[in-house]
């Protein structure tokens, strides 16, 4: 049996002695507390080395290894030098290795948990290796060393600053003056650090350091990284409502044993002094034991909150009026100046969204960040003008702790559709176009189902209807076309570049060989044949389609931002359902969200994609560029369902469509279809048919007119003509022919006079239709 003694500067009331099995040996572990008396600790260590195989020294500062510099603690060195016969350790090497392993394992097990977290180190020099490990996942590192040791009002904010401070502290703060500076104004320093801790997500420190700063709930909801968490300490963390405690010291035994004791046992097992044992030796043993950190939940419920940011901007001067107290009567030339000024303003936080909870238990919160440029202002300048503001927004989001950022409205259209911003930004970027495409068809399918004007083919399982995608070569349009090719009888790809449309068609036919796909860059004449139209251009106010030519009962899904169809156009056709697709309802009632022009708890699909990725812990560049990937559209739709996203109530330019609103559109559509002949080409057909009908009407009328005189002639029986009529009775056709020939001019003249008004009416109806 090997004997290990751990001398602690802590209370002697916690002393124990027990026998445990470890690494194939039996160890007798004895803990002796020195009650914060270093003299007593020195004496205990001197005596115990006679009977121990290794000694551990606990609750004392380690020697610090910061970068390439070692900073020795004089008191620690004095106590360690007492022991000369057996290995002695503070557990510094094992603690350092366990800290790094804990960070890596938690990052993996909890799914990118530390990505862009705001992390506060209460003593950065003591936890230098952990800081380096965490710097792989976040730049938001804060170190309280300068505040606690030198009274600095500001935190160190990088590893480079920490290394520089460590160099200066060894030169400037090592004497009596440095000790006096460190011990003075302790309460003020604690309050200052507590204020920073309240804004951070992760705090690294010892139990004593947590107790020192625990005030005003600054530990509530935080993740704490520490070691040797006992039941007593857990009660403290519970009272502080700590979310998660990561105990880097694994619980190998029934009761918690300090890291210094575990390292002492390893040294006793290896029978080597600590300076002869390498990191590789320790790593081999840690791998053999498969040691993992303990994840403790003091409140009983772990909240894994992920964070996002999303960029919005005003779509017009009217949106600027809503955001700022500008009088309604402000002249347009002044509003033009305001619009230009707004475009040059730096990004600002519009609101913070909280309480987004998935059915899986994952949570998300995030910030809506506004940039001031309207689409008009963005288009009037080079893409670089917008890029810079988006990168400023990304930098702001990163400092607040956002782990992913989405681009909304026109910001995802400018330039190369997010590629440049994603390349330059420090946090992942997505445009949300994958979910926008999915949401567009989701809403359109629901609208058509509720209207009931089309049927499903029982054999092909496709909707027996025609659909058109305007702007089909765009990011959302191309994916929408792929989706529609699966579901509809016929799909028309509409756009400006016929060559690109043909390329898209060929690509679609590879996925769905049985699809009927046509291309058109002059699609105006085809509008009247469509049962559904998806418009997804970036026309920014240009007229995209003539709504007066659209078929009654058609569903137009306008996914363009700004909208392709303004309210004035929509008002022309109450028999057409125009929906602003892409709205998604969040799974829980969101808190803190200001109006974005949608009903409460309803968001645009591009924002929903950003939130879904955050809930899933997928902090990656997901959708950028103008070619939205089909697999990602399917994936984000699946993830959205997983996290409780629902299709919102269908909305149009005037708000949400109720069942009564949709029924009214259907009634008007059915009535209009009675006289509807199609689009502009169909109008010509109707006119031609009406003209033909009018032309045929005189030819039919003489036959009736000829029959009438025949009977009239038969009545007198004395007229000469009557004889002529009667004589050919045996050969009726011959007799009828002369009669018809004689009467035809008059009859024809009379028929034309009678039917002419009706023909005019038919032609007028055709023109109106």
Cis link prior to 318 (omega < 30° from 0)?
no
What is the longest distance spanned by two Cα atoms in the chain? 160
What pLDDT does 739 receive? 39
- The CA–CA distances, whole Å, from 422 to 47, 383, 720 equal 63, 14, 102
DSSP state of 463: E
Q: Which residue in 689, 704, 709, 702 sits closest to 745, CA to CA?
A: 702
What pLDDT does 741 receive? 38
CB 435 within 8 Å of CB 640: yes
Measured between alpha carbons, how far is 562 from 120 in angstroms, rounded to an integer?
43
What pLDDT does 671 receive? 94
What pLDDT does 166 receive? 87
CB 71 within 8 Å of CB 37: no
E strands along 645-695, which residues?
646-647, 651-652, 655-656
Measured between alpha carbons, how far is 15 from 597 in angstroms, rounded to an integer?
65
Ranges under pLDDT 50 in the chain:
680-769
What pLDDT does 181 receive? 57
What pLDDT does 171 receive? 61
Q: Which residue in 579, 593, 561, 587 sits closest to 640, CA to CA?
A: 587
Using alpha carbons only, what angle is made at residue 623 by residues 470 and 617, rounded to the nearest 5 degrees? 140
The Cβ-side half-sphere exposure at 321, using a 13 Å CA radius, reads: 12
Q: How far apart are the first and last CA of the chain?
A: 102
Burial label, 695 (beta-carbon count in 10 A; 0-12, 13-18, 19+): exposed
């Amino acid at each position: 049996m090997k004997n290990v003694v751990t001398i602690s500067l802590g209370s002697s009331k916690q002393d124990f002695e027990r026998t445990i099995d470890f690494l194939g040996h039996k160890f007798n572990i004895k803990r002796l507390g020195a009650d914060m008396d270093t003299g007593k600790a020195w004496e205990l260590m001197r005596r115990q080395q006679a009977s121990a195989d290794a000694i551990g020294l606990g609750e004392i500062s380690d020697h610090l290894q910061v970068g390439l510099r070692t900073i020795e603690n004089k008191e620690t060195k004095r106590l360690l030098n007492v022991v000369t016969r057996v290995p002695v350790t503070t557990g510094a090497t094992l603690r350092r290795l366990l800290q790094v392993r804990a960070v890596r394992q938690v990052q993996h097990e909890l799914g990118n948990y530390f990505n862009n977290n705001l992390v506060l180190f209460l003593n950065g020099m003591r936890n230098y290796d952990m800081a380096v490990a965490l710097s792989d996942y976040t730049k938001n590192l804060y170190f309280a060393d300068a505040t606690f040791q030198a009274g600095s009002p500001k935190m160190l904010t990088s590893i480079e600053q920490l290394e520089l401070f460590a160099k200066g502290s060894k030169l400037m703060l090592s004497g009596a003056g440095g000790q006096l500076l460190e011990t003075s104004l302790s309460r003020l320093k604690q309050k200052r650090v507590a204020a920073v801790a309240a804004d951070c997500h992760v705090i690294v420190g010892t139990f004593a350091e947590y107790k020192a700063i625990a005030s005003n709930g600054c530990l509530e909801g935080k993740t704490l990284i520490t070691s040797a968490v006992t039941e007593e300490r857990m009660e403290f963390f519970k009272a502080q409502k700590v979310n998660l405690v990561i105990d880097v010291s694994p619980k190998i035994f029934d009761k918690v044993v300090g890291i210094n004791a575990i390292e002492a046992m390893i040294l006793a097992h290896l029978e080597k002094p600590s300076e002869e044992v390498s990191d590789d030796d320790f790593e081999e043993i840690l791998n053999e034991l498969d040691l993992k950190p303990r994840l403790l939940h003091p409140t009983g419920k772990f909240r894994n909150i992920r964070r996002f940011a999303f960029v919005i901007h005003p779509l017009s001067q009217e949106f600027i009026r809503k955001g700022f107290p500008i009088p309604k009567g402000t002249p347009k030339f002044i509003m033009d100046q305001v619009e230009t000024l707004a475009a040059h303003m730096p990004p600002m936080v519009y609101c913070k969204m909280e309480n987004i909870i998935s059915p899986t238990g994952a949570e998300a919160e995030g910030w809506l960040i506004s940039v001031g440029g309207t689409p008009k202002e963005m288009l009037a300048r080079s893409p670089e003008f917008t890029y810079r503001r988006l990168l400023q927004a990304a930098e702001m989001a990163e400092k607040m702790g956002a782990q992913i950022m989405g681009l909304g409205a026109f910001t995802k259209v400018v330039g190369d559709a997010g590629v440049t911003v994603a390349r330059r930004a420090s946090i992942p970027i997505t445009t949300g176009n994958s979910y926008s495409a999915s949401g567009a068809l989701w809403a359109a399918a629901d609208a058509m189902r509720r209207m009931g004007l089309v049927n499903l083919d029982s054999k092909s399982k496709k909707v027996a209807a025609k659909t058109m995608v305007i702007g089909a070569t765009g990011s959302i349009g191309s994916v929408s076309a792929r989706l529609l090719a699966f579901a509809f009888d016929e799909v028309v790809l509409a756009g400006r570049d016929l060559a690109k449309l043909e390329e898209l068609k060929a690509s679609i036919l590879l996925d769905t060989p049985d699809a009927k796909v046509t291309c058109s860059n002059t699609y105006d004449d085809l509008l009247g044949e469509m049962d559904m139209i998806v418009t997804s251009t970036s026309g920014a106010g240009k007229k995209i389609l003539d709504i007066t030519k659209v078929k009654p009962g058609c569903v137009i899904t306008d996914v363009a931002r700004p909208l392709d169809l303004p309210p004035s156009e929509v008002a022309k056709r109450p028999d057409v359902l125009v929906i602003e697709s892409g709205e998604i309802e969040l799974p829980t009632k969101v808190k803190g969200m200001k109006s974005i022009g949608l009903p409460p708890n309803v968001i645009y699909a591009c924002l929903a994609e950003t939130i879904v990725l955050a809930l899933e812990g997928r902090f990656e560049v997901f959708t950028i560029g103008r070619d939205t990937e089909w697999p990602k559209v399917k994936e984000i739709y699946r993830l959205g369902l997983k996290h409780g996203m629902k299709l919102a109530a269908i909305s149009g330019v005037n708000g949400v469509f109720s069942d009564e609103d949709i029924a009214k559109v259907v009634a008007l559509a059915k009535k209009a279809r009675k006289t509807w002949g199609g689009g502009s080409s169909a109008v010509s057909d109707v006119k031609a048919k009406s003209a033909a009908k009018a032309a045929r009407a005189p030819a039919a009328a003489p036959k009736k007119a000829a029959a009438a005189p025949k009977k009239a002639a038969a009545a007198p029986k004395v007229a000469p003509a009557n004889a002529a009529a009667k004589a050919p009775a045996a050969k009726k056709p011959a007799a009828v022919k002369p009669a018809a020939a004689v009467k035809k001019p008059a009859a024809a003249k009379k028929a034309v006079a009678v039917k002419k008004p009706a023909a005019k009416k038919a032609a007028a109806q055709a023109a109106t239709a």
